[in-house]
Structure 1
Amino acid sequence: MGTNIALRFDGDRAYVTLDRPEKHNGLTIDMLRGLVGTAHTIADRKDVRAVILSGNGPSFSSGLDVAETVGDPLAVVRAFISLPWRGTNTFQEACWAWRRLSVPVIAAVHGRCYGGGLQIALAADFRFATPDAEFSVMETKHGLIPDMTGAATLSSLIGIDKALLLTMTADTVDAAYAERIGLITEITADPVAAAEELAERIASRSPHAVAGAKRLFDRSWQASARRAFAIERATQLPLILRLAASGRRIRPSSY
């Protein structure tokens, strides 16, 4: 796509690849814009049932390329401005755009997964990682905080204490520790193959139910019980009506 972001479609899957291997996929402003545009392109496709997000070369992503980014302060300022109709700026939307998709997004992680790269992976619905993958919320090393939706994803996945621990120390942790605390879904020798297998399993289910499940958990995860129940009802009713209109019957063996 001209922004070090590669996109290809294969059947009902979209493959999105960070493609700046010589820099361990260090993120630039153009790459962040490319991620946003790629997510929007996928959202317009009705035939896509899953997205597999990975990195080309030795790493998933080493995070923001600070040297490259600070060389154009005006671009940083522009990218930092939040768009009112989205509620996110470019840095945040490069991650949160994957949460907005109605289909599952699966990150296949290897090598370094640091800083902004980690926040992109955390915005996926599932994360498969190689045994030698490394993870770091490294922003405090640069005197910064995770500002690409990391506060929301980290605290919901691993709890506020572990999120603060990783953020305040900027420690690098291995895949075993990441799996133990819930930062990643599973360790596997071939994350892309694992992602494809999961995508195939999910594709066998109703796309409307899958989209509804993603929407339900995203909107209700940290809501009050009363609010969560309201979201459940609002999400379930269209599915029930769709089922009734199709004439299908739900049998006990279906569960």
Structure 2
Amino acid sequence: MTATSPSSTGASSTSSTDPSSTNPLVTTEYSESIPGLVHVRLNRPRKLNSLTIDLLQQLISTAHTLRRDRSVRVVILSGAEGNFSAGLDFADTLKSPPRMLSHFIPRPLRGTNTFQEAPWTWRRLPFPVIAAVEGYCFGGGVQIALGADFRFTGTDAHWSVLEAKWGLVPDMSGIMSLKQLLPIDEVKRLAMTGEIFSGERAAELGLAKAVEDPLAAAEELAQQIIERSPDSVALAKKLVDETWESGARRTFARERLRQARLLVSKNAEIARKAAQKKIPPKFRPRAVR
């Protein structure tokens, strides 16, 4: 996927990995009202944004493209036309078993296959990702939402770790994400039953924050984050993720390492001077990769 920053075109962009495609499965739009914010949307509205191998590949490609753009500060993940994603499109995915199996093989360096990397690739980015969930969020859709750093959901959204309905288990990095958020018995219950529950219930469980307008809430949080140094935001995300299951000694060492880098960074100097003068800071592009 190729994406063009509005700084060079003066407008938002929509594109896909296939330049000839007139209906991309993933769209990218640079916000004109909030510089640094990028909207990424799953774009199969007639199929409730259900997931195909091509769509998953485009999600991965989109993340890689955005990573190279130092102007990107926050990404909001959502689905087109009122639904996040109804999960895997089995009819499309299973029509070519050899192709499906080829994407089941993990990448040696990443440790993930295509199905796992599509949600987890957002964890690897040096800027925060916010999922705005409306309508259906089933199966693989839940796992993509859980790949984000933050999640907002409509109270009337429909959530389900739906793999149990099809005699399967969550296999798109979902178990890793779920166990970071929920007690072990809740993870087992959701994975074993495939029950459907509301956005309000998702909030009670701790999967997301329930709000009236998920996109508006996501944009509000994005604006708050964009007011901070892109380097401190990037390293805060990295520090939390890389030490989440570490002991105190390793966590303290990582804190020192990340802080030492920030203390001598240009954007930290800009933040300090702006705070002293009580003016909005004008940060340089992100230096952290």
TM-score by length of 2: 0.82
Question: Once structures 1 and 2 are overlaid, which stretch shifts more, 157-166 or 63-72?
Answer: 157-166
Aligned residue pairs, count: 251
Q: Provide the rounded CA distance (Å) in 1 between the counterparts of 2:85 and 2:121.
A: 18
Deviation at 1:169, TM superposition (A): 1.0
The CA deviation string for residues 171-210 of structure 1, in whole angstroms up to 9 with x for no partner, is 11111211111111x2122111111111000101111111
Q: 1:206 aligns with which of 229, 233, 240?
A: 229
* Deviation larger for 65-74 or 112-121: 65-74
The 3-state SS of whatever aligns with 2:81 is coil
* Counterpart-to-counterpart distance in 2, 1:28 and 1:245: 42
Counterpart mapping for 1:138-153 below 5 A:
138-153=162-177
Question: Does 2:48 match 1:6?
Answer: no
1:217 pairs with 2:253? no
Write out aligned runs for 1:1-255 (5 A): 1=16, 2=21, 3-10=24-31, 11-184=35-208, 186-242=209-265, 246=269, 248=272
Shift of 1:230: 2.2
CA distance 1:108–1:20, change in 2 (3 Å): same
Shift of 1:243: 6.6
Seen in structure 2, the aligned counterparts of structure 1 residues 161 and 245 have a Cα distance that, compared at 3 Å, is closer
Aligned-residue offset at 1:225? 2.4
Distance 1:239 1:245, change over 3 A: closer
Report Cα offsets for 1:19-50 as digits up to 9, x if no partner: 10111111000000000000011101000110
Taking the aligned partners of 1:244 and 1:29, their CA distance within structure 2 comes to: 40
Q: Distance in 2 between matches of 1:229 and 1:161?
A: 31
Mapped partners of 2:30, 2:83: distance in 1: 22
Q: Note closer, same or farther for the CA distance 1:244–1:137 as it changes in structure 2 (3 Å cut).
A: closer
Q: Distance in 1 between matches of 2:266 and 2:88?
A: 46
Q: Which amino acid aligns with 1:52?
A: I
Which structure has more helix as a fraction of its residues? Answer: 1
Alpha-carbon shift at residue 167 of structure 1 (Å): 0.6
Query: Over residues 99-149 of structure 1, what are the superposed CA-to-partner deviations in whole Å (9 max), with x where a residue is unaligned?
Result: 011111011101110100000000101111111101111112112111111
State the AA in 2 paired with 1:105: V
Q: TM-score, normalised by structure 1?
A: 0.93
Query: Quick one: structure 1 residues 168 and 238, their matched pair in 2 at CA, closer, same or farther if it must change by over 3 Å?
Result: same
AA matched with 1:72: S
**Which deviates the most, 218-227 or 112-121?**
218-227
Gap change, CA 1:245 and 1:142, over 3 Å in 2: closer
Query: After the TM superposition, which parts of structure 1 deviate over 4 Å for at least 4 consecutive aligned residues?
Result: 247-251
Q: Which amino acid aligns with 2:61?
A: G
1:213-236 per-residue CA deviation (whole Å, 9 max, x = no partner) reads 100111111222222222222222
CA distance in 1, matches of 2:50, 2:199: 20
Instruction: Give SS of 1:57's match.
Output: helix
Q: Find the aligned partners of 2:264 and 2:219 in 1 and give their Cα distance.
A: 31
Instruction: Specify the code of the residue in structure 1 equivalent to 2:204.
Output: R
SS of structure 1 residue aligned to 2:181: helix
The letter of the residue matching 2:160 is: S
- Greater relative contact order: 1 or 2 (C-alpha under 8 angstroms, separation 6 or more)? 1
- Which runs of no fewer than 5 residues in structure 1 stay unpaired? none
Structure 2 gaps, min length 5: 1-15, 279-289
